[in-house]
Amino acid sequence: MSAQLRRHSSNDPRLIFFQAFLKRPREVASIVPSSRFLMRRAVRTAHLESARVVVELGPGTGGTTRALLRGMADEARLVAIEINPRLVRTIEATIRDPRLTVHHGSAADIAPILEHHDLGAADVILSGIPFSTMDRATGIAILQAAHDALAPGGRFVAYQMRDRVEQLARRVFGPGTVQTELRNVPPMRVYCWRKPVLDL
Protein backbone atom coordinates (compact mmCIF):
# COMPACT_ATOMS: atom_id res chain seq x y z
CA MET A 1 0.00 0.00 0.00
CA SER A 2 1.41 3.42 -0.97
CA ALA A 3 1.98 6.14 1.64
CA GLN A 4 -0.70 8.29 -0.01
CA LEU A 5 -3.27 5.46 0.18
CA ARG A 6 -2.39 4.79 3.82
CA ARG A 7 -2.91 8.48 4.65
CA HIS A 8 -6.25 8.49 2.85
CA SER A 9 -7.38 5.34 4.68
CA SER A 10 -6.35 6.71 8.06
CA ASN A 11 -8.45 9.86 7.43
CA ASP A 12 -11.55 8.06 6.13
CA PRO A 13 -14.41 8.98 8.53
CA ARG A 14 -16.03 5.55 8.05
CA LEU A 15 -12.81 3.79 9.04
CA ILE A 16 -12.29 6.13 11.99
CA PHE A 17 -15.88 5.48 13.12
CA PHE A 18 -15.41 1.71 12.81
CA GLN A 19 -12.13 1.84 14.74
CA ALA A 20 -13.83 3.90 17.46
CA PHE A 21 -16.53 1.22 17.68
CA LEU A 22 -13.93 -1.53 18.03
CA LYS A 23 -12.10 0.38 20.75
CA ARG A 24 -15.13 1.63 22.70
CA PRO A 25 -18.27 -0.25 21.60
CA ARG A 26 -20.32 0.90 24.60
CA GLU A 27 -19.79 4.51 23.58
CA VAL A 28 -20.27 4.14 19.81
CA ALA A 29 -22.70 1.17 19.60
CA SER A 30 -22.72 0.95 15.79
CA ILE A 31 -20.18 -0.07 13.18
CA VAL A 32 -21.29 2.53 10.60
CA PRO A 33 -22.18 6.25 10.80
CA SER A 34 -25.79 7.39 10.55
CA SER A 35 -27.39 7.51 7.11
CA ARG A 36 -28.37 10.79 5.46
CA PHE A 37 -32.02 9.76 5.84
CA LEU A 38 -31.65 9.46 9.61
CA MET A 39 -29.80 12.77 9.79
CA ARG A 40 -32.54 14.54 7.85
CA ARG A 41 -35.28 13.08 10.02
CA ALA A 42 -33.45 14.02 13.22
CA VAL A 43 -32.85 17.56 12.00
CA ARG A 44 -36.50 17.98 10.94
CA THR A 45 -37.62 16.73 14.34
CA ALA A 46 -35.35 19.24 16.08
CA HIS A 47 -37.00 22.28 14.39
CA LEU A 48 -33.79 24.27 14.16
CA GLU A 49 -35.23 27.29 12.36
CA SER A 50 -35.54 29.46 15.46
CA ALA A 51 -32.82 27.83 17.59
CA ARG A 52 -29.98 30.05 18.73
CA VAL A 53 -28.03 27.54 20.85
CA VAL A 54 -27.85 23.91 19.72
CA VAL A 55 -26.01 21.09 21.50
CA GLU A 56 -25.05 17.77 19.94
CA LEU A 57 -24.15 14.85 22.20
CA GLY A 58 -21.93 12.22 20.60
CA PRO A 59 -21.24 13.72 17.16
CA GLY A 60 -19.04 10.80 16.06
CA THR A 61 -17.20 11.75 12.87
CA GLY A 62 -19.48 14.72 12.21
CA GLY A 63 -22.14 13.53 9.77
CA THR A 64 -25.04 14.74 11.91
CA THR A 65 -23.02 17.81 12.85
CA ARG A 66 -22.94 18.86 9.19
CA ALA A 67 -26.69 18.26 8.88
CA LEU A 68 -27.34 20.41 11.95
CA LEU A 69 -25.18 23.22 10.59
CA ARG A 70 -27.06 23.13 7.28
CA GLY A 71 -30.36 23.51 9.15
CA MET A 72 -29.25 26.24 11.56
CA ALA A 73 -29.56 29.99 11.22
CA ASP A 74 -26.43 32.00 10.41
CA GLU A 75 -26.31 33.53 13.89
CA ALA A 76 -26.91 30.25 15.78
CA ARG A 77 -24.20 28.38 17.67
CA LEU A 78 -23.58 24.62 17.84
CA VAL A 79 -21.64 22.94 20.64
CA ALA A 80 -20.72 19.33 19.83
CA ILE A 81 -19.78 17.39 22.97
CA GLU A 82 -17.69 14.27 22.33
CA ILE A 83 -15.96 12.05 24.89
CA ASN A 84 -13.68 10.26 22.40
CA PRO A 85 -10.57 12.42 21.78
CA ARG A 86 -9.85 10.95 18.34
CA LEU A 87 -13.36 11.79 17.15
CA VAL A 88 -12.94 15.31 18.53
CA ARG A 89 -9.78 15.73 16.45
CA THR A 90 -11.51 14.28 13.38
CA ILE A 91 -14.36 16.81 13.53
CA GLU A 92 -12.02 19.72 14.24
CA ALA A 93 -9.91 18.77 11.22
CA THR A 94 -12.78 18.24 8.77
CA ILE A 95 -15.53 20.76 9.62
CA ARG A 96 -14.70 24.44 9.31
CA ASP A 97 -17.64 26.54 10.44
CA PRO A 98 -17.45 29.52 12.80
CA ARG A 99 -20.75 28.51 14.39
CA LEU A 100 -19.30 25.19 15.60
CA THR A 101 -17.46 24.54 18.85
CA VAL A 102 -16.23 20.99 19.49
CA HIS A 103 -15.82 20.23 23.19
CA HIS A 104 -14.02 17.18 24.56
CA GLY A 105 -16.07 16.22 27.59
CA SER A 106 -18.99 14.38 29.12
CA ALA A 107 -22.64 14.64 28.11
CA ALA A 108 -23.48 14.85 31.82
CA ASP A 109 -21.87 18.31 31.97
CA ILE A 110 -23.94 20.22 29.40
CA ALA A 111 -24.75 23.32 31.48
CA PRO A 112 -21.16 23.91 32.67
CA ILE A 113 -19.89 23.38 29.12
CA LEU A 114 -22.33 25.97 27.76
CA GLU A 115 -21.30 28.38 30.51
CA HIS A 116 -17.63 27.74 29.70
CA HIS A 117 -18.30 28.87 26.13
CA ASP A 118 -20.33 31.92 27.27
CA LEU A 119 -23.60 30.51 26.00
CA GLY A 120 -27.01 30.45 27.64
CA ALA A 121 -29.60 27.69 27.77
CA ALA A 122 -29.93 25.37 24.76
CA ASP A 123 -32.91 25.58 22.42
CA VAL A 124 -32.21 22.11 21.00
CA ILE A 125 -30.17 19.19 22.30
CA LEU A 126 -29.70 16.31 19.88
CA SER A 127 -28.18 13.04 21.07
CA GLY A 128 -26.73 10.08 19.23
CA ILE A 129 -25.09 8.50 22.27
CA PRO A 130 -26.30 4.92 22.96
CA PHE A 131 -28.39 4.92 26.13
CA SER A 132 -28.91 1.16 25.73
CA THR A 133 -25.26 0.44 26.60
CA MET A 134 -24.97 2.58 29.73
CA ASP A 135 -26.13 1.90 33.26
CA ARG A 136 -29.38 3.42 34.50
CA ALA A 137 -27.77 5.99 36.80
CA THR A 138 -25.53 7.36 34.03
CA GLY A 139 -28.40 7.48 31.55
CA ILE A 140 -30.66 9.38 33.93
CA ALA A 141 -27.82 11.76 34.86
CA ILE A 142 -27.31 12.65 31.18
CA LEU A 143 -31.03 13.08 30.57
CA GLN A 144 -31.36 15.26 33.68
CA ALA A 145 -28.41 17.33 32.47
CA ALA A 146 -30.14 17.76 29.10
CA HIS A 147 -33.41 18.76 30.78
CA ASP A 148 -31.69 21.29 33.03
CA ALA A 149 -29.66 22.80 30.16
CA LEU A 150 -32.71 23.32 27.91
CA ALA A 151 -34.54 26.62 27.74
CA PRO A 152 -38.31 26.45 28.39
CA GLY A 153 -39.92 25.18 25.21
CA GLY A 154 -36.63 23.58 24.09
CA ARG A 155 -36.45 20.17 22.45
CA PHE A 156 -34.43 17.09 23.32
CA VAL A 157 -34.07 14.73 20.34
CA ALA A 158 -32.42 11.30 20.56
CA TYR A 159 -31.90 8.82 17.73
CA GLN A 160 -31.53 5.30 19.07
CA MET A 161 -31.57 1.68 17.96
CA ARG A 162 -33.43 0.51 21.10
CA ASP A 163 -36.12 2.00 23.35
CA ARG A 164 -33.99 2.30 26.50
CA VAL A 165 -33.90 6.09 26.26
CA GLU A 166 -37.70 6.24 26.25
CA GLN A 167 -37.86 4.22 29.46
CA LEU A 168 -35.32 6.48 31.17
CA ALA A 169 -36.51 9.81 29.76
CA ARG A 170 -40.11 9.26 30.84
CA ARG A 171 -38.94 9.82 34.41
CA VAL A 172 -37.19 13.09 33.51
CA PHE A 173 -39.20 14.59 30.63
CA GLY A 174 -42.51 12.76 30.75
CA PRO A 175 -44.04 11.29 27.58
CA GLY A 176 -42.45 12.02 24.22
CA THR A 177 -42.98 11.21 20.55
CA VAL A 178 -41.23 8.62 18.40
CA GLN A 179 -40.69 8.02 14.67
CA THR A 180 -38.83 5.17 12.98
CA GLU A 181 -36.31 5.65 10.19
CA LEU A 182 -36.06 2.37 8.27
CA ARG A 183 -33.53 3.72 5.75
CA ASN A 184 -30.67 3.36 8.18
CA VAL A 185 -28.45 0.41 9.11
CA PRO A 186 -29.69 -0.58 11.61
CA PRO A 187 -33.18 1.04 11.58
CA MET A 188 -33.37 3.81 14.16
CA ARG A 189 -36.01 5.38 16.35
CA VAL A 190 -36.06 9.18 16.61
CA TYR A 191 -37.48 10.35 19.93
CA CYS A 192 -38.44 13.90 20.85
CA TRP A 193 -39.34 15.60 24.11
CA ARG A 194 -40.23 19.27 24.61
CA LYS A 195 -39.48 21.00 27.88
CA PRO A 196 -42.62 22.76 29.12
CA VAL A 197 -42.63 26.52 28.89
CA LEU A 198 -43.70 26.57 32.54
CA ASP A 199 -41.70 23.74 34.13
CA LEU A 200 -43.10 23.65 37.68
Going along the chain from its start, the domains and CATH numbers come out as: 34-194 (3.40.50.150)
The model's pLDDT over 136-185, given as tens digits with 9 standing for 90+, comes to 999 999 999 999 999 999 999 999 999 999 999 999 999 999 999 999 98
pLDDT at 32 > cutoff 60: no
187 phi/psi in degrees, rounded to 5 = -55, 145
Gap between the Cα atoms of 53 and 13, Å rounded: 26
DSSP 3-state assignment of 131? helix
pTM for the predicted model, two decimal places: 0.84
pLDDT at 7: 44
Give the pLDDT confidence score for residue 185 in this predicted structure.
Answer: 84
CB 107 within 8 A of CB 140: no
Backbone angles phi, psi at 106, to 5 degrees: -100, 145
Q: What is residue 124's predicted lDDT score, i.e. its pLDDT?
A: 98
Predicted confidence at residue 37, as pLDDT, reads: 92
pLDDT tens, position by position, 99-124: 999 999 999 999 999 999 999 999 99
Alpha-carbon 199 to chain mean position: 24
